[in-house]
Amino acid sequence: MKTGQNTPIQRYGAVAMLFHWVLALAIVIAFVVGLTVEDMPLSPSKVKLINWHKWAGVGILALSALRLVWRITHRPPALPGAIEQAMPGWQRIAHHGTHHLMYLLFFVVPLLGWAYSSAKGYPIVWFGVLPLPDLVTPNKELAEVLEEAHGAAAFALMGLVGLHVAAALKHQFIDKDGLLDRMRPGR
């Protein structure tokens, strides 16, 4: 794909794309499962979904760490000059700010969930095999605070994801500048 000045758009590499799409899918699924279990009565199905939610959170945390290391060691392609020049200053700030906040929340949301589970006195045993250490000692009052913080951070992350998707769709269908092709596999 080319920009308006016939300059080829630099694409992300296959590993960066894999991290992006796997984490995107995992985050959305974990969010939906978290919302689903909230209103379920206590049952074996609820316990199973809660464990899946915890496993997904630990997986998201691990993948986020790997993704961050990859990003630090493999510089992402710069925004094409024509696209960056066409963006008002507030859009450039929003672009960078959204990405930085999403990266921060990739870590904050699962860590708050892990701490919440620890404060409730429910250990996390990843995939039923690997017991993880508690981050805090059991404490009912702290668990309530951490539960609220985990939920608020998860909703903040989903809001940023929605903003990110809306911006990508704007570039694809309104600006028609090919920016989405940088992260689209198989193009």
Averaged in consecutive runs of 10 residues, what is the pLDDT profile of the chain (187 residues)? 59 96 98 96 97 98 98 93 91 95 98 98 96 98 98 98 96 93 88
Q: For the chain, which residues make up each domain, given as ranges?
A: 14-182
Residues 6+ apart with CB under 8 A from 60: 23, 26, 27, 30, 106, 109, 110
Is the pTM higher than 0.85? yes
The pLDDT of residue 6 is 55
The pLDDT of residue 7 is 61
What's the CATH number of domain 14-182, 1.10.1240, 3.30.450, 2.30.29, 1.20.950? Answer: 1.20.950
Q: In whole angstroms, what is the distance from residue 187 CA to residue 184 CA? A: 6
Q: How many CA atoms lie within 13 A of 27 on its CB side?
A: 28
Residues 6+ apart with CB under 8 A from 169: 180
The pLDDT of residue 9 is 77
